Amino acid sequence: MSFADPLLLLLLLAIPIALLLTRRTGEGNAAGGFSNVDLLSGFQPTWRVRFRWLPTFLRAGAIALLIVALARPQVGRADSELSGQGIDIAIVLDTSGSMTAMSFGAQDSRLDVAKRVLTEFIDGRDDDRLGLVVFRASSLVLSPLTVDYEALTAIINDVGVVALPDGTAIGVGLSDALNLLRESRARSRVVILLTDGENNAGDIEPLAAARIAETLGVRVYTIGVIDAAATRGGRVNVDEAALREMAQVTGGRYFPASSEEALTSIYASIDQLEKSRIERSQFDVFDEYAPYFLAAALALLAFELSLRSTVWRQAT
């Protein structure tokens, strides 16, 4: 438990001082004079006399509870909600014919490199749920959200044999990924979309799909696999402006990748971005307990007043 205004708790120090002053002044009762008190020696004090301090104690307790209420005690709820909870990530992978090009190295195609980097990314997961969507001229969900990382890795290794018509339907692939995340209750929901081309197929425009992601509260990170040789020729093989806009409208980012090292670094950066988002918002939501303390203070005060007007009406 924490307090929104903890300095107000210093007022609690005034309560024992007030009680001490009250005791010394006798709460305003006037003293009476007697010539001989021997006549009172045989009388025992009644329980009302023995417990005459109780109303004062109740009032002190009510004042203490009121001060605590003014300090606004709070309990953060987000920390308990995040316990053992990871991120829901939909991986969207372009498997079109252009992904078989050897632009990342003489021995590995773009797809081979992407599969290897994705495998490393999956190995670094703990509580995250991951799903997989591949697309060409159409898209196909190969795995729902799962924590069975071994099975997901096996599926990724075989994405090249999935028979789909050739093409690049970025918007359709993103839409299928959003369907995976639609019912997710995870605190962070993310799509990581990788492509090496421009949208040229499907009946859903990429930006329209990104607008749907924005509505659903899903962040989209886009990765453009850049052909370094083509770039030197003055033409980029991906529509970077479209990928950048898709990411920006959802609160994500666009990353260009021209090497396996860059691609590995991109997935690591996305991982850190999402973890830091959760850490920063960990105590954003609080339960306020001030009304409970205020209600208890009023109850004690009402009880004290009832005692003073009945049982201790004459004794005090």
Task: State how beta strands 286-288 and 73-76 pair.
Answer: antiparallel
> Which residue shows structure tokens 């999956």?
122
Cα angle: 197, vertex 247, 85; to 5 degrees:
115
**142 sits in which H/E element:** strand 139-146
- In CATH, the architecture of 85-280 is 3-Layer(aba) Sandwich (3.40)
The pLDDT value given to residue 295: 85
Question: What would the 3-class secondary structure string for 190-205 be?
Answer: EEEEEECCCCCCCCCC
The pLDDT value given to residue 85: 56
Region of residue 213 (phi > 0: left; psi between -120 and 50: alpha; otherwise: beta) = alpha
Q: What is the DSSP letter of 42?
A: T
The pLDDT value given to residue 315: 46
Instruction: Report d(CA 156, CA 169) in Å as an integer.
Output: 19
**111 sits in which H/E element:** helix 110-123
Name the residue among 271, 261, 259, 250 with its Cα closest to residue 91.
271
pLDDT one digit per residue (tens) for the chain, 316 residues:
677 777 877 888 887 887 777 766 655 455 555 555 555 555 566 666 666 667 777 788 778 888 888 887 877 654 444 444 578 999 999 999 999 888 766 578 999 999 999 999 999 888 899 999 999 999 999 999 999 999 999 999 999 889 899 999 999 999 999 999 998 988 889 999 999 999 999 999 999 999 999 999 999 999 999 887 666 556 788 999 999 999 999 999 999 998 889 999 999 999 888 876 655 444 456 677 788 878 888 887 887 777 777 766 754 4
Q: What is the side-by-side order of every strand in the sheet holding 88-94?
A: 139-146, 129-135, 88-94, 189-195, 219-225, 254-257
The pLDDT value given to residue 3: 74
The pLDDT value given to residue 290: 80
- List all residues 6 or more positions away from 5 whose beta carbon is below 8 Å from its beta carbon: 70, 71, 72
Q: Supply the pTM of this predicted model.
A: 0.62
> Which residue shows structure tokens 């005090």?
316
96, 138 in Cβ contact below 8 A?
Answer: no
> Which residue shows structure tokens 């109780």?
54
